[in-house]
Amino acid sequence: MASNNGDVKLIGAWASPYVMRPRIALNVKSVEYEFLQEQFGSKSELLLKSNPVHKKIPVLLHNGKPICESSIIVEYIDEVWSSGPSILPSDPYDRAVARFWAAYLDEKWFPNVRAAPMAATEEAKNAAVEQLKEGLALLEGAYGEKDFFGGEKIGFIDIAFGSMLAWLRALQVMLGGVKLLDEEKTPGLCKWAAKFSADPAVKDVLPETEKIIEFAKLLVAKIKAAAASS
């Protein structure tokens, strides 16, 4: 592991795809860190003090200074520990493209992963699934024929999208075997997903599908109960 990292802590939770991003980035850079896990359903004083604006995980604490928002944290990690493998491309255009896809995943694609199991009607569920499939087709086109989106090594898009793989696999099971990552329609992404998941920087971060399914059922039940009582 790399030395001279300073004091590095990450406030997060094991199941959050947004927390998985900085965890993978820190592993890519071989940075040792302390993982401070939040309890499900509550927010620690440290979290509220470190991220008073959004009050959300993840938060990276580097020598006591907080950095918030998953993509911003990944960029910070890439810049601070620049001696490790690069996460963002060096070319300005390629860097802009990587940021575009990360924003697309957060703003347009992943909300449907949450929406599908929460849908009140079959029509709403099917609409969310179709949005997911359309997005995967776009990502298949963006992937091309490389080891990773970043080329020969894990890069910014790989981390942004790969952090969502455990939830995507869980969703396929929860929706009764719906094929989202499909060998026929998205062969490149299927190959990429297997390679990404097996990478040493990733394999101990991505939770098992069964664990995510159990957690997701608790989460859905809690949200529905809150909606019913409001």
The torsion of the CA quartet 27, 70, 144, 207, rounded to 10 degrees, works out to 60
The pTM of this model reads 0.94
| Predicted local distance difference test score (pLDDT) of residue 40 | 87
The mean pLDDT of 144-151, rounded to a whole number, is 90
Q: What is the mean pLDDT of residues 26-46?
A: 96
Please give the structure tokens belonging to residue 200: 């040493």
pLDDT at 3 over 50: no
Q: Which residue has the tokens 């569920």?
A: 125
Q: What is the pLDDT of residue 159?
A: 98
For residue 136 the two structure tokens come to 């995967």
Among the listed ranges 96-110, 137-151, 172-186, 215-229, which one has the minimum average pLDDT value?
215-229
pLDDT (0 to 100) of residue 112? 94
The answer, yes or no, to whether residue 1 has pLDDT greater than 50, is no
Q: Is the pLDDT of residue 33 over 70?
A: yes
pLDDT at residue 2 is higher than 70: no
Stretch among 26-35, 95-104, 109-118 having the lowest mean pLDDT: 109-118
How much is the mean pLDDT over the chain?
94
Q: Distance between CA 92 and CA 205 in Å, rounded?
A: 30
Q: What is the mean pLDDT of residues 41-59?
A: 97
- pLDDT tops 70 at residue 89: yes
Q: Rounded to whole angstroms, how far apart are CA atoms 88 and 92?
A: 10
Q: Is the pLDDT of residue 69 over 70?
A: yes
Give 106's DSSP letter.
Answer: I
Closest among 141, 40, 30 to 77, alpha carbons compared: 30
4 pLDDT tier (thresholds 50, 70, 90): low
Whether the predicted pLDDT of 48 surpasses 70: yes
pLDDT (mean) for 99-118 = 94
Mean of pLDDT values over 9-38: 98
**Strand ranges inside the chain, DSSP E:** 8-12, 34-37, 59-62, 65-68
